Homo-oligomer: A and B are copies of this chain.
Amino acid sequence: MTNTPAQPMKEFEFIEWIRGQSHLDPAVVPVGPGDDTAVVMCGNEKVMITVDQLLDGVHFKLLEAGAKATGGKAMARSLSDVAAMAALPLGAVVSVALPKGMAREDAEDLYSGMRKVGEKFRCPIVGGDVGVWPGPLAIGVTIFARPAGIRPVLRSGAKVGDAICVTGSFGGAWKTTRHLKCIPRIHEARILASRHELRSMIDVSDGLASDLGHICKSSCVGAEINAAAVPIHADAKNDPSDPTGLRGALSDGEDYELLFTLPPNQAAALVGDQPLTVRVSRIGTIVAGEGMTLIRPDGQRESLAPRGWEHKT
């Protein structure tokens, strides 16, 4: 233990350091840290696994959100990672650190909120660990899943020329209760991946630009985004400093929509068909090189930083 932080913690740098420490056998762990789920061989079966934590004061405010919605969001966030691999959930284990003095009714609501969202996606809670402590509410939801006939869609498969597509619309999720009610796109991802050659996919949690940046970095490619094609949620349009809502759509995050790439002819068919209950839009193209470019309606090009909303603590 060092009592004086000689080197203050930078979350993303620390995560990069952790990834650099991993030396995994690809025959046992085909996909390690750095994608939406890990993929591990269990006998002849692939098992996929992911954990996400929800921390009071960082990812939600318990007093504003309420216990039931908080539980629902915790489950939905982890399910969204499973969706991003086009996998089917098998079950969840949850760890919950309850603040001392939390009412029993609230703890029950929290659990019921998790269970209800899990059940919608056939993801039962099969185990967990509950403790009471002097700290704020902390929830960890681990989900394990299986490919069930569909090859896991990684972040690293984007190819130059791929169309970049998204489900739904973006921005402002934090300004309303939308982020608490996010719908993990499990069904949508299965339909998309079973009909089309999805080359890469991620769920948009950090922000559209930031999560596209993850795909580009993992795939060693760049991207061009057509500003006019980005579907902007109504929640993003009430900000005087961002009248079109584009900035919010690109950086707010917490949308939990799918962002994926596929061959352009398949994207054209998909956008024509609209096989989902949520709209699919093509927003750009994967290009050679590094970095992302935003193309304004007047043709003006500007560099797009892979910057999303970073949790303030």
The chain A residues found within 8 Å of chain B, CB to CB, are 1-11, 13-15, 17-18, 21-22, 24, 28-29, 32-33, 37-38, 40, 42-45, 47, 49-53, 55-59, 62-63, 66-67, 90-91, 93-95, 97-98, 100-108, 111-112, 115, 124-136, 138, 140, 142, 144, 146, 311, 313
Contacts and interface: CB of A to CB of B under 8 A. Distances in A.
Question: Chain A's interface: helix, strand, loop or mixed, by majority?
Answer: mixed
A103 B1 CA distance: 8
A97 B42 CA distance: 29
Nearest to A10: B104
A18 B127 CA distance: 10
A182 B124 CA distance: 32
Nearest to A126: B38
A98 B140 CA distance: 14
A4 B136 contact: no
A90 to B, nearest CB: 5
A124 B22 contact: yes
A59 B14 CA distance: 25
B49 A126 contact: yes
A220 to B, nearest CB: 21
Given A9-B103, A22-B126, A135-B136, 18 more contacts: A1-B106, A2-B106, A5-B104, A7-B103, A9-B104, A9-B132, A21-B112, A29-B91, A38-B91, A42-B90, A45-B47, A49-B126, A57-B135, A59-B131, A93-B142, A134-B136, A134-B313, A144-B144
A160 B126 CA distance: 29
B5 A43 contact: no
A56 B124 CA distance: 29
Given A58-B133, A126-B38, A133-B57, A140 B51 contact: yes
Contacts of A14: 104, 107-108, 130
B9 A311 contact: no
A18 to B, nearest CB: 6
A119 B17 CA distance: 18
A1 B66 CA distance: 5
B58 A7 contact: no
Contact of A1 (B49, B67, B129, B144): B67
